[in-house]
Chains A and B, each alone.
Chain A
Amino acid sequence: MTTKNRLLIISAFSFLLFIACNGVHEKENTPAPVNARLAMGEELFRMHCITCHSLHYIEMQPDFTRKTWEKITDKMIKSFGAPIPDSSAAIIVDYLMSVKGTKE
């Protein structure tokens, strides 16, 4: 088998795996987004927050008020330098409220 062929097989294999993993991801584990803003919030969370910590950090908390989640997000930005622009912070807080927020 030539090197080129081997590479081709590995690439094809990886591609299939990628499709397989993402397929499961879409179908079974991701709840349908309630609305576009929450979907964007989730995307921003993945982009800006999981560098340091997984969503489990949110999941393990009790339901907190919007004020508490705003304070926590602010602490992440000011004390830990989370690279979150102000416009994104509000959307992330909405998402956090959808995961572990008190009823408003």
Chain B
Amino acid sequence: MIRFLPACFILLLLFSCQHRTETVIPELKDSVVFTGDKKDMIFLTDRPPNFETPLKYFLLDFTPNDVFFVRWHLSGLPTTVDEQTFRLHISGEVNKELSLSLEELKSSFEQVSVNALCVCAGNSRSFFDPRVPGAQWKNGAMGNARWKGVKLKDILAKAGIKNGAVSVSFNGLDEPPLSSVPDFVKSLTLDHAMDGEVIVAYEMNGSPLPLLNGFPLKLVVPGWYATYWVGMLNEIKVYAEPYKGFWMDKAYLVPENVSNGNESPEALAKKTVPISRIDVRSLFISPENESNIQSGAPCTVYGLAFDGGEGISSVEISADSGLSWTKCNLNPSLGNYSWRKWNYTFIPGYGKITLQVKATNMKGETQPSHQWNRSGYMRNEIEFLSLNATE
């Protein structure tokens, strides 16, 4: 009988899992669940898994791996990846196809590190007005990490790029559950892939990537939205023509040549292009919205700001509906692709206080007072923070 206990356990698990996915729906607002090698996440969906990071963790310079946001499109997701048999394949318009083990990747190339913010294109989608369909993220679909890996340029150079090649595609181990669902494949131009900044990472914050963040390899595209940061990366292909595919041509599109991806429901942009660089944005982290603070005592507001790599030049606060703006203190830069922490101390009077925050980057780009687009991407509308000062 003992020999059959594992079988009984599997049966039990099978039934209890089936039971859970079909019937028990966790409360959605701020529902925190246990999620594999993750803890303390805000639950969005289970199949495929999508979880966001509670805002309080953004007080840290780097977002811990076990609370780093999780975003997958396809439910055919491996639950384990064997480090010994895993291979990264490089093919297409190359002189020599490669099939690299993790060991080869770590030992035959220069190892590099970069601090970079990974932010979902649809982060903060739930704040768009009118609301738009899609994963209903609050502000937690982002995280800052120190990524370690190998330059994509070096891997491609080892394979040898053929003359006339113009684009490169990236595919991971996640698979469509139906053959009719387009596999999640993203692409970059060859020039971008060869710029020396894009890396194939095997570590984040000094540890192997968590499975749900793309173990064992993740493409890191500093300054660009996370849709390009393909996880469980195992296939790189080089093409003689621009890559065509659903996830580049039909999804993740934004209005062409419009700052902050802005359009209006009444006048949708006629031409759209694949989303690319992260636009400039600032957020409040602490205190929480609608907090009570003490009147007459210094109050420090903490937040962060970021852009697509130009670097943040200033973050300003307004307490009078945008009539006047005061500069915040900026923490030392962690690198232009990282977020930049800021803080602002003031002595509150009595009653309700409404603050706004606005960042500007080195190119002079700043945030709009209103922003909307049909897919809920690139959210960077100027934020408000309401506080109540009491005795």
Residue numbers of A with Cβ under 8 A of B are 1, 6, 9-10, 13-14, 17-18, 21, 24-25, 29-30, 46, 50-57, 59-62, 64, 68, 72, 79-83
Contact = CB atoms under 8 A, between A and B. Distances in A.
Given A10-B8, A56-B44, A51 B25 contact: no
Contact of B136 (A17, A50, A60): A60
B136 to A, nearest CB: 5
Interface of B: 1, 4, 7-8, 11-12, 15-16, 18-19, 21-25, 28, 43-48, 74-75, 126, 131, 133, 135-136, 176-182, 246, 250
Main secondary structure of the interface of B (DSSP, over half): loop
A30 B75 contact: no
Contacts, number: 90
A81 B181 contact: yes
A61 B135 CA distance: 8
A53 B11 contact: no
A62 B15 contact: no
B45 A13 contact: no
A60 B28 contact: yes
Contacts of B133: 61, 64, 68, 72
B1 A6 contact: yes
Contacts of A81: 178-181
B136 A62 contact: yes
A91 B1 CA distance: 48
Contact of B181 (A50, A61, A62, A80): A80
Contacts of B8: 10, 13-14
Contact of A17 (B11, B23, B75, B176): B11
Contact of B250 (A18, A59, A79): A79
B113 to A, nearest CB: 35
